[in-house]
Amino acid sequence: MDKIHLNQMAFYGYHGLFKEEKKLGQRFLVDLTLFLDLKKAGKSDAMEDSVDYGVVYQKVKEVVEGQSRNLVESVAEEVASNLLNTLDKLDACLVKVYKPDPPIPGHYQSVAVEIYRERE
């Protein structure tokens, strides 16, 4: 299956279990892999045969910078649901949401949740 990748999209959101996370907010990064047939787009060179990356970015931004959620898992699920319900050409998506600065002790680059969802 063909794929489109949007990597390390950066947003500022208010997700987390702690009051400070919901009040102060923090950075979130999103990697997205869209699964769809790109053969027609490759031959036609026409946008209507593919997916507009700018539209995808805005849809992800609306979720990540929108309603506060407790869990990154919920953010990822909402991104996948939004994309699959609004982009007709999309067959499936892989969504990875990074939380680079979670308020937990330890040394690491980030924590992340990755989900794969297909159109039903």
Please state, in angstroms and rounded to a whole number, the distance separating the CA atoms of residues 1 and 25: 37
DSSP 54-84: HHHHHHHHHHHTSS--S-HHHHHHHHHHHHH
What are the catalytic residues?
Answer: 99
User: Which residues have CB under 8 Å from 43's CB, separation 6+?
Assistant: none
User: Which residues have CB under 8 Å from 61's CB, separation 6+?
Assistant: 9, 11
Structure tokens at 43: 């031959």
Residue length, the chain? 120
